[in-house]
Amino acid sequence: MVKVKEIINRFYRFAPRFIAEPNDPVGLQLGDMEHEVKKMMLTLDVRPDVVKEAIENDVDFIFAHHPAMFVPVHQIDLSNPQQKMYADILKHGITVFGAHTLLDNANGGTSDWLAEDLGLKDCEILLSEKQETWYKLAVFVPENDAEKLRNALGAAGAGKLGNYSHCSYSLKGTGRFLPEDAANPYIGTPGKAEEVAEQKVEVVFPAHLKEKVLDAMRKNHPYEEIAFDLYRVEGLGEKYGMGRIGNLRHPMTVKEYAEFAKKALNVEGVRLIAKDQNKLVKKVAVLGGSGSKFYGDALKKGADVYVTGDVTYHTAHDIYESGLAVIDPGHYFESVCKYRLTDIFKNWTKEENWPIEVMTSRINTNPFKLI
């Protein structure tokens, strides 16, 4: 059987925990990470109809983009449909996980899916970039034990650079020490100075592997007291961030692009803010969900059009005067995540040989209808 925590740990390799926005309630929403999964369901939102669908389909794990709980719940009033939903989730032994900004900031996540659907190329991150801290470990080890140590560090994930693993650097030298009377040296005798042919082994690794790598070093190093240096290094690792900005393959007018976006995003309609609907569009920014407050970032990066949801009236006036065109397809245009996540989890199920079924919620949770 596969536990929820195994599935989530695989997801964290795709979307590391550090990329979530501050104070975003991502992660376990209800249930138990030790719960065994037979059938999981992907959804944009966790709403009463979605939970009913999960119960009817014997789903025991719901993986959602939007967290089920954005604010703490202080009491469970079963006359309230949303709070009764929480009780139904627990009653039927369903575990719920919310990805939210983990998925929005992930490379190959929501922002990239929307950019692809909107026909963008040469994309860059729209908002501020996030990059995990990396370390360099330099450890001194007897020459005869260096290969074993290098292999152990590589197995722990150190030395992974792009498509290359087990990367390291070694420098030969001489180690000197004097074991004291209470010492139990691997080489040498207490009270007698010793010289040993050693290698300095260097590897780099991301911060989330720090304890795992240091543990591998301790378990595979022969010395009673290990000499090592640990440094922070810059410029390594993937960059993550929310939103994308890129170029259209074929320029078109604002009006033409609004029609294109409507079809590409499979929405009933869009709201358009534009002083000049005949302006030529070459560069487009996109941010899933409610991104109107970031229109200034789209302007600074030279966007002709900004695609985002939930633009408010007064902000729309400011956008209009700025000269930036905005296409608002509504918050629900993030629903692309349901189908993309389904494909990802089905692939992981095959790769990991998980005996679970993966399904996509069929419920349209968009509360707005155009009439």
65 is in an annotated binding site: yes
Q: Taking the C-alpha atoms of 121, 124, 127 and 131 in order, what is their torsion angle to the nearest 10 degrees?
A: 140
Residue 66 annotated in ligand binding = yes
Scan for tokens 């370390």, then name that residue: 135
294 and 127 in contact (C-beta within 8 Å)?
Answer: yes
For residue 302, the tally of other CB atoms under 10 A from its CB is 10
- Backbone φ and ψ of 202, nearest 5°: -115, 135
C-alpha distances in Å from residue 153, one per residue of 169, 221, 222, 224: 12, 11, 14, 18
Are the beta carbons of 172 and 117 closer than 8 angstroms?
no
CA 98 distance to own-chain centroid: 12
Cβ-contact 63, 69 below 8 angstroms: no
Q: 218: which 2 tokens?
A: 């301790």
Residue 334 known to bind ligand? yes
Q: Smallest Cα–Cα separation from 243: which of 338, 169, 334?
A: 334
Contact 68/46 with Cβ under 8 angstroms? yes
3-state secondary structure of 216: helix
Q: DSSP state, 146? A: H
CA distance from start to end of the chain: 47
Cβ-contact 137, 205 below 8 angstroms = yes
104 is in an annotated binding site: yes
- Residue 114's nearest CA partner among 366, 328, 334 is 334
CA distance linking residue 344 with residue 14, whole number of Å? 10
Q: What residue numbers does the annotated binding site for a divalent metal cation cover? A: 65-66, 104, 331, 334
Q: What residue numbers does the annotated binding site cover? A: 65-66, 104, 331, 334
